[in-house]
């Protein structure tokens, strides 16, 4: 592994998958593609050279404090009371030549829709693959509240989105248990961390990228942490196992995969009762030795298990330094110094159960908080029997990729059928023009019938003195036809745009481009022209109305004459409304048709692209063939 040709092949595969877009794809297909992308990315990193260190520890085991000390950075990972991480955090170490360190920028990635459902099923222990998050959140289960939080977070954060950690809280997200709901939806948090060369030279990694994975703190009875840790499939080279040894804590062998070498890190030494007492110290060392033995027996042959010890307060030179490291726990520095003096005179057994390993670890903690000793243990294990872990990890990734390829490929025929159905449905969808006609009629009626001049005419016609035609027409001459036309156009434009946006979304997940129709509809000249034309037509109608004087016998019957003129005015009003309606339709219909045609063309291109040379089917087939070739080559090489 690690040759340039293999890296080039993996880069090419990842690049083709990165641009893969399948409109209307199911959540399962989207999830499998995202998993396949991650698999290819991990294969590339394993091939290029990577040293993976996983940190495991229970709640309050000071795991984050230990990692801060190890990296010499106090601006990463939350520490202090209640700062228990609920997500996995991946830190990729970058060596810095100078003393300066770049600010650490963390990004959180949310689960895909199917990934969230898969995690929810694991949390609840259900097997029904068709239940939504909302449905699972309503099941009678003690952890249903976690699934409800996932569903709420999905509405705020979205699925498969990358969010800067600085923005996460503002959007209702969280990565710790005490900062509110939403952490269950986070797939992982990642960041690059610069390490100055004068702080810790990474040359011991022999050119490999050092990746430190901080897992969630585990608590008795808490299922989320167990599920998140179980989802971490990468094989680690080294496991840092932090465990609090003081304060009456019971030492229990931590759960860890059989592959990595282990560094068992004892913490909270300042809370150990009376290290001057040989019996107390013997009990502690015997318990540590038992855990080391169980870790060796439970791992693969040749697993190396070492001991380290860390203490944040012991690493701080003075109260100010400790306050900068952990401002929420500044009061423990003074008591920790008393404990440090006690440990300086600890009653060690020369032939203790750990053969002096625990004593050397504690001596390192007394010297500088355990930083130098812990780093030495990591460096010693970094190049120890790591090739087989990389080989196993790569083979596992190849097989996982093939499984995902098969699962994703089974969705493609149905996707092609669905794409064809979407295209046909859009072509036969007559709603846009029908909605245009409804909007045009409604807005024309509102604009024309709401004019005050009609009420004034009505009052004139009800006078008992028999108003003349000029008396009736005079108020109507003041009718602002251009203004009501502009109002109708503006209202129709907004309502039609809202409808078309929703109509577009009902057929495709591609963003709607308002420029498809708004350019022409928002033209001020077009509005002015429409108003001028309608005003001319209105004047003709009024001229016809004024040119029908009452003569003869009709003039002797005022009531009947008034009724006649009122019907004539009403007819003029109705004719004007219908003229405006027709004008609205004439203006907007070409743009509506153009929007329909644009959607039809888009769906047609998407359907053709599914089977094109660069479409999903072709891309997946190439990836599947490459993975199968890698699998065959490695299996043949092993034989």
pLDDT digits (tens, 9 = 90+) for 52-110: 999 988 777 888 889 999 999 888 887 665 566 778 889 999 998 877 777 888 899 89
Q: Determine the average pLDDT of the residues in 489-496.
A: 89
Q: What would the 3-class secondary structure string for 165-218 be?
A: HHHHHHHCCCCEHHHCCCHHHEEEEEEEEEEECCCCCCHHHCCCEEEEEECCCE
Q: pLDDT digit string (tens) for 259-292? A: 889 999 999 888 887 888 888 888 889 999 999 9
Residue 366 pLDDT greater than 50, yes or no: yes
Residue with token string 């047609």: 604
Residue 574 pLDDT greater than 60, yes or no: yes
Q: What is the dihedral of CA 33, 39, 41, 45, to 10 degrees?
A: 180
The structure tokens listed for 336 are 């920790």
Predicted local distance difference test score (pLDDT) of residue 563: 42
Highest mean pLDDT (candidates 17-26, 262-271, 624-633):
262-271
Predicted local distance difference test score (pLDDT) of residue 579: 83
Strands 89-96 and 209-214 turn out to be antiparallel
- Percentage of residues of the chain with pLDDT beyond 70: 79
Domain ranges of the chain: 46-409, 412-624
Residue 438: pLDDT band by 50, 70, 90 thresholds? very high
User: Could you tell me which of 569, 588, 586 has the C-alpha nearest to residue 479?
Assistant: 569
Residue predicted with more confidence, 177 or 524: 177
Q: Return the H-helix or E-strand segment holding 548.
A: none
What are the Cα distances from residue 260, in Å, to 122, 217, 256, 313? 25, 19, 8, 29
Q: Determine the average pLDDT of the residues in 566-590.
A: 82
Strands 305-309 and 261-267 turn out to be parallel
Q: Determine the average pLDDT of the residues in 499-512.
A: 86
User: Could you tell me which of 571, 300, 328, 613 has the C-alpha nearest to residue 448?
Assistant: 571
Distance CA 500, CA 461 (A): 44
Q: Determine the average pLDDT of the residues in 39-64.
A: 86
User: Hey, which residues does 212 pair with through a beta bridge?
Assistant: 53, 91
pTM for the whole structure: 0.70
- Percentage of residues of the chain with pLDDT beyond 90: 19
Residue 537 · residue 579 · CB < 8 Å: yes
Q: What is the dihedral of CA 275, 276, 282, 285, to 10 degrees?
A: 30
Residue 49 pLDDT greater than 60, yes or no: yes
The structure tokens listed for 561 are 């004459």
Residue 522 pLDDT greater than 60, yes or no: no
Fold type of domain 46-409: Rossmann fold (3.40.50)
Residue 516 pLDDT greater than 60, yes or no: yes
Per DSSP, 305 falls in state E
């Amino acid at each position: 592994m690690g040759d340039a040709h293999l890296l080039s092949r993996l880069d090419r595969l990842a690049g083709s998958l990165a641009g893969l877009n399948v409109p209307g794809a199911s959540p399962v297909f989207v999830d499998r593609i995202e998993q396949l992308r991650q698999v290819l990315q991990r294969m590339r990193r394993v091939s290029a050279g990577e040293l993976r260190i996983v940190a495991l520890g229970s709640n309050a085991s000071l795991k984050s404090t230990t990692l801060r000390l190890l990296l010499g950075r106090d601006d990463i990972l939350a520490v202090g009371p209640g700062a228990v991480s609920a997500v996995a955090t991946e830190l990729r170490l970058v060596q810095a030549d100078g003393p300066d360190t770049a600010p650490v920028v963390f990004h959180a990635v949310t689960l895909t829709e199917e990934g969230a459902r898969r995690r929810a099923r694991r949390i609840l222990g259900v097997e029904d693959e068709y239940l939504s998050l909302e449905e699972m959140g309503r099941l009678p289960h003690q952890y249903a509240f976690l699934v409800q939080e996932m569903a709420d977070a999905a509405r705020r954060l979205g699925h498969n989105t990358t969010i800067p950690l600085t923005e996460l809280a503002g959007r209702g997200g969280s990565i710790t248990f005490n900062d509110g709901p939403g952490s269950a939806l986070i797939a992982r948090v990642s960041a690059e961390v610069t390490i100055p060369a004068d702080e810790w030279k990474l040359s011991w990694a022999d050119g490999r990228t050092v990746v430190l994975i901080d897992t969630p703190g585990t608590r008795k009875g808490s299922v989320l942490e167990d599920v998140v840790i179980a989802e971490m499939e990468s094989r680690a080279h080294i496991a840092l196992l932090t465990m609090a040894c003081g304060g009456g804590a019971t030492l229990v062998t931590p759960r860890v995969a059989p592959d990595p070498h282990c560094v068992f890190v004892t913490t909270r030494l300042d809370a150990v009762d009376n290290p001057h007492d040989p019996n107390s110290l013997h009990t502690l060392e015997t318990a540590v030795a038992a855990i080391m033995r169980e870790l060796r027996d439970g791992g693969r042959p040749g697993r190396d298990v070492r001991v380290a010890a860390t203490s944040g307060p012991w690493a701080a030179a003075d109260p100010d330094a400790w306050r900068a490291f952990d401002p929420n726990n500044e009061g423990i520095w003074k008591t920790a110094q008393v404990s440090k003096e006690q440990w300086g005179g600890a009653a060690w057994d020369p032939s203790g159960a750990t053969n002096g390993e625990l004593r050397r670890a504690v001596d390192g903690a007394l010297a500088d908080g355990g930083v130098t000793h812990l780093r030495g243990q990591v460096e010693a294990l970094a190049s120890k029997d790591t090739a087989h872990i990389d080989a196993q990890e790569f083979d596992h990734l190849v097989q996982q990729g093939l499984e995902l390829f098969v699962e994703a490929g089974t969705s493609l025929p149905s996707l092609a059928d669905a794409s064809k159905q979407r295209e046909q449905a859009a072509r036969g969808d007559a709603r846009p023009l029908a909605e245009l006609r409804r909007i045009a009629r409604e807005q024309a009626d509102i604009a024309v019938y709401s004019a005050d001049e009609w009420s004034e005419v009505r009052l004139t016609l009800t006078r008992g003195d028999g108003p003349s035609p000029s008396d009736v027409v005079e108020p109507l001459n003041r009718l602002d036809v251009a203004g009501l036309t502009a109002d109708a156009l503006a209202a129709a434009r907004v309502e039609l745009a809202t409808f078309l946006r929703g109509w577009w979304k009902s057929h495709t997940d591609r963003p709607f481009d308002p420029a498809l129709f708004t350019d022409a509809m928002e033209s001020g000249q077009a509005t002015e022209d429409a108003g001028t034309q309608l005003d001319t037509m209105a004047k003709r109608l009024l001229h016809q109305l004024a040119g029908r004087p009452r003569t003869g016998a009709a003039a002797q019957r005022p009531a009947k004459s008034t009724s006649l003129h009122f019907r004539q005015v009403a007819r003029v009003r109705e004719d004007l409304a219908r003229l405006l309606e027709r004008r609205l339709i004439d203006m907007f219909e070409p743009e509506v048709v153009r929007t329909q045609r644009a959607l039809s063309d888009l769906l047609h291109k998407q359907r053709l692209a599914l089977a094109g040379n660069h479409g999903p089917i072709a891309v997946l087939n190439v990836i599947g063939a490459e993975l199968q070739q890698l699998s065959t080559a490695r299996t043949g090489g092993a034989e």
